[in-house]
Structure 1
Amino acid sequence: MKRLPLLAIALGVGGLVPFLACAVGILLFSGQVPAPRLVLAMIDYGAVILSFLGAVHWGLALAGDPLGTPIAAGAVTHRLTLSVLPALVGWAALLIPLVASPVLALAVLLLGFLLTTLVEARASRVGLIPPGYMALRWLLTAVVMLCLAAAILARL
């Protein structure tokens, strides 16, 4: 299994800092003024990162098969189409607090991260994901989902 570049790992782990900071702040200030703002900050950051995850697959679809085997045009179309779904889920999460509880937006993001990672795991099994990527993705997704779940529970 090919190792990911150390910088990719460091940046991935560093990307957890806003999730962790928001979750800790929401838990510490649960009944105070900063908590609702931190929830919105977490929603905003989660939407951005979810969009980034979709963009990864957009790039991989355009780059072709990492193993060098030709990809059918239909598979590229399917992959490009799926790659925009995380951004749409993130956008929906951004809109939800305008009309409903921000807790619902957190739940939508949690589901979006889980489903995106499950789709990536399936793509990995058929060789459409670079080796080593899924180990990092599962770790990052687990931490993100724990932060989102903690925020949901703190706001219920």
Structure 2
Amino acid sequence: MRSARFSAPSQLLIRTVANSTSNRPGSQSLNQAALNVKEETGNLASDAAKTIAGANLADHSAGEGTKDNFVDITKDNLSAVPKSAMAVGLAGGLPYIGASATTVYLAHQAGLVATGASTIDPGLAITYLDQALNFQVMYGAAMLSSLGAVHWGFEYARYGGQKGLPRIALGAAPAILAIPTLAAQPMMALAAQWMGFTLLWYADARATSNGWAPKWYGQYRFYLSLIAGTCIIGSLAGTSYYGPVGGHGFLTHELEQISSERHALTDGREVVPNDNGPLKISRQKGGPQSPGFVSISHKQEPKEEEKKE
């Protein structure tokens, strides 16, 4: 049996890496760096569009030569949204936008009262602001409950198959979160509802990717949640920056002081209603049987005998 003999090679070849530029930086010039940044930004935007759409893009990726960027993905998904659903969704958001704008305006007015730049009654300014905040909270709770109830409709229609308790629970969860916010302080209630809108959008995106909802639903829900979230953040920021909330903050205490000072200054104020001379009036705090909070009456002049005494 012949034995094999191994001899040392006469020449040792060293194999280098296949890519000669592996030891060089990825961007060798400013132009290459700018191109790399542009490509990475485009990839991130594309991933964001897929996340917004619920990553349910089978129809989009089927065609050849289809661009995979944020704008095209968004257009494809928005074009699939029924016009009636889009119109009703946007119309339902208009009162919420109006409520947020009203809240910021009234917060600005309350702030002017606190600085003495407005003659509006401080208590009235606080009341209007509080009512605007409460309206936004109530409307937000109704929106959350309605968006959750959509999943009940999908379940009853057996869209994507019957899912049973998981989808029923998903439809009930927003209402369970929204109802307790009606009893909370408005600022805390808005913050809780913002969290609710965000979590519900994430759940809707997951439901879309799992086939529990139409492929366009994740994209549609994202923009509705974006409107609601922007309004909530605007109300919270505007109220915190411009004015106080009833019963909270240092500005509320300042408003109460201004109100008490104004009431003190109204005693003995002289007005000229006619040509008979100045009319002296006095203010008295209304009692339980009074028609108003404050009673204004003619201040009686002292009699001649009392003046002599």
> Residue 130 of structure 1 aligns to a residue in which SS?
coil
Query: What amino acid does structure 1 have at the position aligned with 2:106?
Result: F
Of the three residues 2, 6, 11, the one matched with 2:88 is 11
Query: What amino acid does structure 2 have at the position aligned with 1:95?
Result: A
Query: Take 1:93 and 1:114, find their aligned partners in 2: how far apart are those partners?
Result: 16
Asked if residue 141 in structure 1 is aligned to residue 225 in structure 2, the reply is yes
> Residue 25 of structure 1 aligns to a residue in which SS?
helix
Runs of 4+ in 1 over 4 A off after TM superposition: none
Query: What amino acid does structure 1 have at the position aligned with 2:210?
Result: V
For residue 70 of structure 2, what is the aligned residue in structure 1? none
Q: State the structure with bigger RCO (CA 8 A, min sep 6), 1 or 2.
A: 1
Structure 1 residue 40 displacement after superposition? 0.5
Unaligned runs of 5+ in 1: none
Of the three residues 136, 144, 147, the one matched with 1:53 is 147
Structure 1 residue 83 displacement after superposition? 1.0
For residue 121 of structure 1, what is the aligned residue in structure 2? 205
Q: CA RMSD in A?
A: 1.5
Query: Take 2:221 and 2:102, find their aligned partners in 1: how far apart are those partners?
Result: 24
Query: What amino acid does structure 2 have at the position aligned with 1:76?
Result: G
Of the three residues 41, 45, 48, the one matched with 2:135 is 41
1:44-71 deviation line (CA, Å, top 9, x unaligned): 00000100011101111121134xxx44
Of the three residues 139, 143, 159, the one matched with 1:65 is 159
Of the three residues 153, 167, 181, the one matched with 1:79 is 167
Of the three residues 10, 14, 28, the one matched with 2:105 is 28
> Residue 153 of structure 1 aligns to a residue in which SS?
helix
Structure 1 residue 3 displacement after superposition? 2.0
Q: Residues 97 and 231 of structure 2 are in contact (CA less than 8 Å); yes or no, is this contact kept in structure 1? A: yes
> Residue 212 of structure 2 aligns to a residue in which SS?
coil
Unaligned runs of 5+ in 2: 1-58, 60-78, 111-124, 241-309
Query: Take 2:205 and 2:189, find their aligned partners in 1: how far apart are those partners?
Result: 24
For residue 152 of structure 1, what is the aligned residue in structure 2? 236
**How do 1:94-109 and structure 2 match up within 5 A?**
94-96=182-184, 101-109=185-193
Q: Which moved more, 1:102-111 or 1:25-34?
A: 25-34
Query: What amino acid does structure 2 have at the position aligned with 1:77?
Result: L
Question: Rg bigger for which structure?
Answer: 2
Of the three residues 88, 91, 100, the one matched with 2:176 is 88
Higher strand fraction (1 or 2): 2
1:44-102 deviation line (CA, Å, top 9, x unaligned): 00000100011101111121134xxx44xxx3211101210101111011121xxxx21
Query: Take 2:225 and 2:80, find their aligned partners in 1: how far apart are those partners?
Result: 19
TM-score by length of 2: 0.45
Instruction: State the identity %.
Output: 27
Q: Residues 209 and 215 of structure 2 are in contact (CA less than 8 Å); yes or no, is this contact kept in structure 1? A: no
Q: Residues 145 and 178 of structure 2 are in contact (CA less than 8 Å); yes or no, is this contact kept in structure 1? A: yes
Query: What amino acid does structure 2 have at the position aligned with 1:150?
Result: G
